[in-house]
Chain A
């Protein structure tokens, strides 16, 4: 079905169970979908923007209230909307890192973390992962010592992932932050896979910044996200412009430099705000999501030759699976080669596994109903049996 003359209607969420690893937490809530209908025009949230003319002061729709509530919800002191987590990384890196400063991120960091630090001119170093694919406080401390020795000064910033995108493992953030603070290194938590789907408490974790992704985990349109910080850093990262036109003498009030004034001015902002009540509610049911993730993992592991590369039992819904000795064995002789798996899944109403993947791949079961979880479990096992694999 066509949406316009040249654009297909996107109907995958209505027709299929979508287990795409990066899409699950960003599916809109029904309220966000309705708000998106009403606020689809460009500057739609700006109808009631009054002095001092800034996004986080708008009361109708309740964007100002969202800023206050979101900070409280994360147990942080200040929040701003940003066009995606990457713009949050960029704002913090740009504010705290001087050219040539050593900085740390991790062996499981996303490329946008690297890019934001590169843009700031940082001297970038990684904290290695351990044998369990975890970033540990011990490795962090060792790496801080090494980098400080080599650079002659301590790193000016540490980026660490609450849940990494490669394995979906949950890392020991409180311990890592404690170590970093012993060296006076501020800590940025990449919460792209945690903020909005599982409980996150900034003070309990002891981090200085929390970055969330609206379109990855807060049921919001893309590109959207949040950057949260403490009183200690809010006047640094959210500093207002001091620029003045040398001919016109113009100044620009309380516009924030790193935010480039206002950030999300339409459907992205209102979608995130509209989903927020449901998002706050859904994180309270994280245990049910983890339980469902383990049901699917158990079903997959019952297929002979299949193993999970992420932590077991699962503590998150994003999972990395190794099917080299199961589905990939089938692919070697199947007429559709590696595409047989995604095509077989699609026939059973499931999408989201990268076409051609039968070796090591990822999926995410977040937000599926019990019936959909059962359907996914059954589908994987049926496909295995239909292709001669043993299912215990």
Chain B
């Protein structure tokens, strides 16, 4: 199948929603690993708090995309 045709089909299936879904899962995985490396107390240092904050902000954006695409 030609690349252009395939891309058109992908677009119809909401590439944006699928990308947002996986991006959100990967961001959640980053947060999961923050929990792992700070177990058992989960007392985050300043650098870890920044990482957590950034991941959560990015996650919110992906959830917003999912809301836009799927509602």
Contact = CB atoms under 8 A, between A and B. Distances in A.
Interface of A: 13-17, 27, 30, 33-34, 37-38, 348-350, 369, 371-372, 375
Q: State the 4 A-B residue pairs at the shortest beta-carbon distance, nearest first.
A: A349-B40, A14-B35, A30-B33, A34-B26
Contact of B25 (A15, A27, A37, A348): A37
B52 to A, nearest CB: 14
B39 A372 contact: yes
25 contacts: A13-B36, A13-B39, A14-B32, A14-B35, A14-B36, A15-B40, A16-B39, A16-B40, A17-B39, A17-B40, A27-B36, A30-B29, A30-B30, A33-B29, A33-B32, A33-B33, A37-B22, A37-B25, A38-B22, A349-B40, A350-B40, A371-B38, A372-B37, A372-B39, A375-B40
B37 to A, nearest CB: 6
Interface in B19-51: 22, 25-26, 29-30, 32-33, 35-41
Contacts of B29: 30, 33-34, 37
Contacts of B35: 14
Q: Which of B25, B39, B41 has the most CB of A within 10 A?
A: B39
Contacts of B22: 37-38
Interface of chain B, main secondary structure:
helix
A16 B38 CA distance: 9
B61 to A, nearest CB: 18
Interface of B: 22, 25-26, 29-30, 32-33, 35-41
A349 B40 CA distance: 5
A37 B26 contact: yes
Contacts of A33: 29, 32-33
Contact of A369 (B25, B26, B30, B37): B37
A353 B37 CA distance: 19
A16 B30 CA distance: 17
B30, B33, B36: residue with the most chain A Cβ atoms closer than 10 Å: B36
A147 to B, nearest CB: 47
B27 to A, nearest CB: 10
A30 B31 CA distance: 10
A13 B34 CA distance: 11
A371 B38 CA distance: 8
A38 B33 CA distance: 17
B53 to A, nearest CB: 18
A33 B30 CA distance: 9
A60 to B, nearest CB: 15
* Most chain A CB inside 10 Å of its own CB: which residue of B25, B30, B33, B35: B33
A349 B37 CA distance: 13
Contacts of B25: 34, 37
Contacts of B40: 15-17, 348-350, 375
A385 B39 CA distance: 23
B19 to A, nearest CB: 12
Contacts of A37: 22, 25-26, 29
Given A13-B39, A17-B40, 16 more contacts: A13-B36, A14-B35, A14-B36, A14-B39, A17-B39, A30-B30, A33-B29, A33-B33, A34-B29, A37-B25, A37-B29, A38-B22, A349-B41, A350-B40, A375-B40, A375-B41
